[in-house]
Amino acid sequence: MSHWSTANIPAQTGRTAIVTGANTGLGFETAKALADKGAHVVLAVRNLDKGRAAAERIGGDVVLQRLDLGSLASVREAAEELKATYGTIDLLINNAGVMTPPKQTTADGFELQFGTNHLGHFALTGLLLDRLLPVPGSRVVTVSSVGHRFARAIRFEDLQWEREYNRLVAYGQSKLANLMFTYELQRRLTGQRTTALAAHPGGSDTELARHLPRAFQLALPLARALFQEAAMGALPTLRAATDPGALGGQYYGPDGFAEQKGHPKVVTSTEYSYDIEAQRRLWAVSEELTGVTFPESLDDPVTQWDELPSGRA
């Protein structure tokens, strides 16, 4: 399907979607598009004041949920509140994230990008998955980035960057982890009613760029010609979440040059991201660090897909 857009989103009436980081940028546009199609949308945000302003701008059937992905206590509290409110969930869109901040840690002592972008979403997904599993066609969509290519591998020997800190590579590791989590989750979901997919927005003009190193900040005015508006950047996520033809394990990104701009299509990630043993190791470490285990029905994944839906040979 060429030039997929929000016009291709099927009616979402009767569906419940949770979107993290939905008060601005890609998350806002994702939530708005889903609400416009009739979904009941939960804006899972850290700042409730900004969340209220976003909800007013979106309109429709939209509610707020406080969620700080940098605190496992907050993640658990939000998950409990959501489970008390919703018997089933159709879409969980793991969108929120931070990019290239100075060295910081989460409330639990994790490097901020790895802790927020990956571990927070890993925990949230694990805690909410039993609300998705009974729902035919339910999906978990996790937003990665072309920046996953900044990291050659997961630094299992120094996950929290205690020896040294490179903000770009640390960001890349967190986004690589998002992809590896998606691929491993999909393998564990084989035979279930729920699927896991990933997406990336290409070069999108959002607030995430505010922490880029000074050299990158100086180049931003020129680089903006390569960026697209947040509404376009949200399309890969929306296609992964709503396209009836999308398959578990697929990764969507823009179809333009270097996947920077354009309409969403299936793309591929780095060779390392498909390493099954590394995926399993990351999964085990993530369970250990977060204290969150997934439903027992997902404990015995198949060895591999017969054919990777991503199109990777």
Q: What is the CA radius of gyration of the chain?
A: 18
The identity of residue 56, as a single letter, is E
For the chain, the domain total comes to 1
311 within a domain of the structure (yes/no): no
Task: Please say if the pLDDT value at position 279 is more than 80.
Answer: yes
Task: Give per-residue pLDDT as tens, 243-264.
Answer: 999 999 999 999 989 989 999 9
181 within a domain of the structure (yes/no): yes
Task: Give per-residue pLDDT as tens, 50-78.
Answer: 999 999 999 999 999 999 999 999 999 99
221 within a domain of the structure (yes/no): yes
307 within a domain of the structure (yes/no): no
The total of other beta-carbon atoms located within 10 Å of residue 196's CB is: 27
299 within a domain of the structure (yes/no): no
CA distance 41 to 242: 14
Whole-number mean pLDDT of the chain?
Answer: 91
The identity of residue 5, as a single letter, is S
CA distance 180 to 169: 16
Task: Please say if the pLDDT value at position 217 is more than 60.
Answer: no
Strands 251-254 and 264-266: antiparallel
The total of other beta-carbon atoms located within 10 Å of residue 35's CB is: 22
Contact 185, 196 (CB under 8 A): yes
**DSSP code string of 125-186:** HHHHHHHHTTSTT-EEEEE--GGGGG-SS--GGGTT--S---HHHHHHHHHHHHHHHHHHHH
Which is the catalytic residue, given 86, 165, 171, 252?
A: 171
87 within a domain of the structure (yes/no): yes
Among 52, 110, 77, which residue's Cα sits nearest to residue 290?
110
pLDDT recorded at residue 310: 44
pLDDT recorded at residue 221: 53
Structural domain of 47: 6-294
Q: What is the CATH number of the domain that holds 80?
A: 3.40.50.720
Task: Give per-residue pLDDT as tens, 13-25.
Answer: 999 999 999 999 9
171 is catalytic: yes
76 within a domain of the structure (yes/no): yes
Task: Please say if the pLDDT value at position 43 is more than 80.
Answer: yes
The identity of residue 124, as a single letter, is L
310 within a domain of the structure (yes/no): no
Contact 111, 160 (CB under 8 A): yes
Among 132, 32, 36, which residue's Cα sits nearest to residue 79?
132
Task: Give per-residue pLDDT as tens, 107-161.
Answer: 999 999 999 999 999 999 999 999 999 999 999 999 999 999 999 999 999 999 9
